[in-house]
Structure 1
Amino acid sequence: MFFASDNWAGAHTAINERLMRESIRFAAAYGTSDLDRAIEQRFNEIFEREVAVFFVATGTAANSLALASVERPGGVVFAHSEAHVIEDECGAPDFFSGMRMIPVEGAEGKINPLNLKARMARYPQTAVHHGRAAAITITQATEVGSIYSLDEIQVVSDIAKAEGLPLHMDGARFANALVALDATPAEMTWKRDVDILSFGGTKNGCWCAEAIVFFDPAMAKELPFIRKRAAQLFSKSRFIAAQFEAYLKDDLWLELAGHANAMADRLREGLRASNTARLAWPTQSNEVFTVLPKEMMKAAQEKGAKFYDWLEPRDMPEPVGDDEALIRLVTSFATTAEDVDAFLSAIA
């Protein structure tokens, strides 16, 4: 019963097998191999246009270097107050970009457009003392399991474009959001005026595979140097490309995300039927948040369930009682229906 994180899951068999095949051949280094080039072309096909792709090892690196590429002296970046770039990356986006992350409140882990405009108004391009607006970043799916609709993405991007700012999307769980919306990669990104994407594979069956995608290759001219300076240019980058080859082949990535989402749906259904636990708020991706008695939480842990307790978000719909706990449950490509049912039985 592993629900602590989709990072706890292993790598899919197809990805492991592809890595094994790659390990017995010679190929050019530093992103110049035939395989690297082929996967760059595959990204063009997936996104239905020419893009610039840069492989990195972690989601934090992807977010940090993507934002570093649009750095402005004195710049600030607007993100949801509970976004990963603010809460969980140890200041790496600030460190690598030289810019500050400015929190914007919003329900369900999503930036509220009115709050965004109000915050941006405090950082005009002439604000030499306070700093100036430089970029906006959104998380898809969000840190609390919600998903921006296509229209909601467009609203944020319209605000960005009105101010001449680039829009970045943290897509650590990009595939989960895509499947939940039943959209295409193009529809959820550049067709909604997203400029840069952190494309995550690690949480969805890869071993160590993330990519920074620029929908206008001209925006990426500095990224090769930024990546090298940040020690993210792998000499054997083809091993990241090999993972993506297997990941993207025959839409395996969407199949894996669909399974994770389906297991989360099964969890949600079981929790709705529970007379002791309750869903903390609605979610649409592979993250589920539930409130249950502390004694029930402890009992589930004693039976082998792995999960994290969670801090109450600022807009918690219903407060957590003194004898209750808020926990996060994350499903993955490796979660089984038996795992879900065992957990529901453990808290019954």
Structure 2
Amino acid sequence: KMHITTNGKIDKRLLPEIDFSEMINTNYEPPRTDIERKIAEIWEEVLGIEKVGINDNFFEIGGNSLKLVSIVSKIKVDLKIKIDLTLVYNYPTIKEMLLYTGKMEKEEYVGLLNNKYNKNIFVFPPIAGFNIIYSNLSKLINQYSFYAFNFINKDNLIQEYVEKIIEIQKEGSYVLLGYSAGGNLAFEVAKELEKRNLNVSDIIMLDSYKRINRNNSINTKDEEELYNNILVEAEKNELYRNYLQDNNIKEEIVNNVEGYSKYLNNTINTGLVNSYIHLVKSEDSNKFNDEISIYGWNNSTKKEFKIYDGFGNHEDMLGLMNLSNNAEILNSILSVIQ
């Protein structure tokens, strides 16, 4: 029975409270094994809810990238099971996650971070090497499936990226994106795709600087100091700072930074691509006298090189204060890609 006010309207104050936990568990299937039960308990603790079922979607019951880090870390510490962060994006229920964890022979290097659309964008990580850095941005990208990569710490990493891209999209034009060092990776991947007679229509870079010299002067003695300095800088970054609080994730970040740094120090971004290059520059790029020559990408394409004024300093471009503005720029670029 509805309670009516003197004005003849429903009195919302007297409506029964909605039990969101019942809505979450409409298709509730309880844990069947000890390991499922223990993982469900970890989810309940981190997410602050009760009665997690093995078919509940992590991201639909309150999960986000930071809570994902906590859950993966607790599973590793408490249950001695290592679960790749990207695996949970691809298989976001306890049932799926455990099924594919048991069968996996190798890491899940790429994850679909938003919804499935008819068009794809392939995204490469900055120096920390984790695709979850893009989790907030991916939700603001329209009409493109946002496939984000982790850093592949292998000698043949460019070929590995290309193979995984082709597995997802066998033909048509490819669109690539990278923030910071991810832009350097995107450029090298584009060259390899073109070598295979595949078309890359556009490369979008968020404050990426072309590498014009190898840095072979760094020796083993200097490496530890170099990586420590990079981690100190990472602590200043809103995105990295939260992840570095977890020792397990910090260990993986350190490994990524080491591998990524060695790759970059031995890479020169030479040659021309047959694709448009879009550079979204940070607000602190004006500390350089000649931003075009510093960025260097203007002579790296047979087509057009375009520069856009982004929001925030380099380390803050994907932070919450600047995210929506920079996402708007990216969506405007994507909207005109044929």
Q: TM-score, normalised by structure 1?
A: 0.26
Specify the structure having the higher radius of gyration (Cα). Answer: 2
Q: TM-score, normalised by structure 2?
A: 0.26
**Which has more strand, going by share of residues?**
1
Which structure has the higher relative contact order (CA within 8 Å, separation 6+)?
1
